[in-house]
A and B are shown apart, each in its own frame.
Chain A
Amino acid sequence: KAGVTQTPRYLIKTRGQQVTLSCSPISGHRSVSWYQQTPGQGLQFLFEYFSETQRNKGNFPGRFSGRQFSNSRSEMNVSTLELGDSALYLCASSLGETFMREQYFGPGTRLTVT
């Protein structure tokens, strides 16, 4: 079974621009979560989606948004990029209606903001 895939793997953007990252979960998984990883803050939860509904949101500004499609694929968007948004953005998928804690991560998208 293929793992979680994320595209693109690397991205360089300029301050003020916006960016969209994509995540395809493991086949059959219906929950998708997004995390931001930085050396200073570690792994921080962004949001979680199940059946196209956001079930939980982390403590990030409104510039960070996401959505999930009917095929469980998910996208996250960051608008008005800031230098501090440079990070590895990780997507994780899990199975089931109840939040199944067995999260399987993708390789991440490395975003650099200049």
Chain B
Amino acid sequence: QQQVKQSPQSLIVQKGGISIINCAYENTAFDYFPWYQQFPGKGPALLIAIRPDVSEKKEGRFTISFNKSAKQFSLHIMDSQPGDSATYFCAASGTGFQKLVFGTGTRLLVSP
């Protein structure tokens, strides 16, 4: 019940296209949903996060869409660039959890 399921495992998008990564959760106690970006040899970097009181949050080219009833959330990367090529992790946390539960990661490749 603490799992966060992430898909797809890998994704290839052309430069300028939209990258979409999806996550689903079961535990309704989760109330914080961040996305992390990780480049090879680096630690994960916080990209954007959302709480369930809003259905969408946008920061630059990155947008989180959140569907509370379906218990799903997704990351959209608009105008994808080769520099966006990285592994993306969704995560979830909630009151009393004292930790982040991570999805399995999506390896994104943006072709020039």
- Residues of chain A whose beta carbon lies under 8 Å from any beta carbon of chain B: 4, 33, 35, 42-43, 45, 48, 55-56, 58, 90, 92, 99, 101-108
Contacts and interface: CB of A to CB of B under 8 A. Distances in A.
B50 to A, nearest CB: 11
Given A42-B104, A102-B34, A55 B46 contact: no
Contacts of A103: 34, 46, 100
Given A55-B98, A101-B32, A42 B49 contact: no
Interface of B: 32, 34, 36, 41-46, 49, 89, 91, 93, 97-105
Contact of B98 (A56, A102, A104, A107): A56
Contacts of A43: 44, 89, 91, 100, 102, 105
B99 A108 contact: no
9 contacts: A42-B103, A43-B91, A48-B98, A55-B98, A56-B99, A92-B43, A101-B49, A101-B100, A108-B42
A55 B98 CA distance: 7
Given A4-B43, A56-B99, A103-B100, A42 B105 contact: yes
Nearest to B51: A101
Contacts of B42: 107-108
A90 B43 CA distance: 7
B44 A33 contact: no
A55 to B, nearest CB: 5
B60 to A, nearest CB: 18
A104 B99 contact: no
B44 A48 contact: no
Closest 8 CB pairs of A and B: A105-B43, A56-B98, A43-B102, A101-B32, A45-B99, A101-B93, A99-B98, A105-B44
